[in-house]
Amino acid sequence: MIRLENLTKTFKGQKDPAVEDLTMEIPEGEICVLVGPSGCGKTTTMRMINRLIEPDSGKIFLEDEDVTSVDSDQLRQRIGYVIQQIGLFPHMTIEDNIATVPRLLGWDKKKISDRTDELLEMVGMDPADYRPRYPKELSGGQRQRIGVARAMAADPSVMLMDEPFGAIDPITRSRLQNEFLRLQADIKKTIVFVTHDIEEAIKMGDRIAILRERSRIAQYDRPENILLAPADDFVANFVGSGASLKRLSLAKLSDIELIDWPTADLDTDPDQVREILQRSDRGWVLLLDDNRRPQRWVSSDDLEDDDEDLSRTGLRADSIAHPDTTLSAALADMLTSDKSSVIIVDESGAYEGVADLETITNATKAMRVEARADNGHDRDGLAETGTEESEESGGRLKKDDS
């Protein structure tokens, strides 16, 4: 846990403080992203946590310990630090780079060596191959991995990351972000992550603090809530257009209530299928095989010829999705599928439910209502029509565990 109390910093020769009276708390084991326009003081804020910049006033707490005036070199040895330029020492091997902090802490050789191997394996690089190499022999993505491994060398509970993926091409960046998120799910460090990229903030953050000039917090909340219920115009502008679409990439199909579509087995008698169709108002029946895997969509028109083999009538049931598919990916599938819907199946491929455009719209409305209720405020501009409808469909959104 990191707690900042009334931090203020004014740089020499400047009239306005770079950071003014900042108070915030970063919960244990979460990634907190500081995001804001350039010059808003986010990097200054981060660098005050490990006191590379000494605050003029205010207090810094690490795990409830006041570290505002402890020895700053020792403090930094307890905090992992990753910067945009990565800063691997070019004249040292990968092994020596990773061992930097353990050596400062005076670990014995065996322990350092074991830890180096462990870290290299953790970031997916073969220790025997990479230990003796120099940074210039690695690609950008590999250097970045070593940068992270080096920051984690002494297993700090807190890490500071200043645009760690900033200088990497978009494809590698996305891969490294995913890797890091998977790693973080295991190691659960308390992380302060600085970026100017709202997309990255939404992807990486358990919480996002949107900062305006002088590092004042415009909104500090979970990404979902920031997207759907921005606190003010500054946040709304910063998040930019398409906030609802971005929100869809945060929710998964498993988060929403699916439609229970009428189904029948492939070998069902066509008459029976017709009966099912008449009883439901959906107009189509989904045919499943023996393992309950979706096979075909059948409408009453397809059943006019009695002799027809059911496994060849109607439309093929494509656009299948798993529950952990994001809503934005599901939406993309729907737009390209004949039936404007996706069929959700479990691990074994067995049918679970169907989602269509209406499902998504209702889910977004529900999320918006919930976000606003969380924030305890309402904005007329976003209220749109039919509040009643939104509240009604609020039941469609399964309760999030958060």
Partner 1 sequence: MATAVPQRGDLDSRSDASPAQRNYARARSLGRYLATPLFLALVLLALYLYISGRTLDSIEQRSISSAIIVDRTIEHIQLTAVSTAAVVLLAVPMGVLLTRPAARRFTPAFLAVANIGQATPSIGLLVLFAIVWTIGFTPAVVALITYAFLPILRNTMVGLEGVDRSLIEAGRGMGMSKGKALRTIELPLAVPVILAGVRTALVINVGTAALAWASNAGGLGDIIQTGIATRRDPVLITGAVLTSALALFIDWLGGIAEDQLRPKGL
What is the binding site for partner 1 (CB under 8 A)?
A: 50, 52, 73-78, 81, 83-93, 100-101, 104, 123-126, 133-139, 141-142, 145, 150-151, 160, 172, 174-176, 178-179, 322, 324-325
Name 79's bridge partners. 158
Minimum gap (Å) between residue 78 Cβ and partner 1: 8
Q: Cβ closer to partner 1: 59 or 133? A: 133
Minimum gap (Å) between residue 298 Cβ and partner 1: 31
List, as one string, the DSSP characters of 198-228.
HHHHHHH-SEEEEEEGGGEEEEEE-HHHHHH
Minimum gap (Å) between residue 159 Cβ and partner 1: 11
Q: Cβ closer to partner 1: 175 or 316? A: 175
Q: Cβ closer to partner 1: 85 or 272? A: 85
Minimum gap (Å) between residue 338 Cβ and partner 1: 24
Count how many residues are written for the chain.
402
Q: For residue 257, what is the DSSP state?
A: P
Minimum gap (Å) between residue 26 Cβ and partner 1: 18
Rounded Cα–Cα distance for residues 226 and 235 (Å): 8
Query: 161-185: string of b/e by CB count within 10 Å (b at 16+)?
Result: bbbbbbebeeeebeebbebbeebbe
Phi, psi of 21 (to 5 degrees): 50, 55
Q: Cβ closer to partner 1: 11 or 89? A: 89
Going by C-alpha positions, the residue among 90, 91, 116 that lies closest to residue 101 is: 116
Q: Is 309 helix (H, G, I), strand (E, B) or coil?
A: coil
Minimum gap (Å) between residue 251 Cβ and partner 1: 14
Q: Cβ closer to partner 1: 50 or 68? A: 50
Given a contact cutoff of 8 angstroms between Cβ atoms, the answer to whether 86 and 142 are in contact is no
Beta strand spans in 172-324 (E): 190-195, 207-212, 216-221, 263-265, 284-288, 294-299, 315-316, 320-321
Minimum gap (Å) between residue 154 Cβ and partner 1: 9
Q: Cβ closer to partner 1: 329 or 382? A: 329
Q: Cβ closer to partner 1: 32 or 83? A: 83
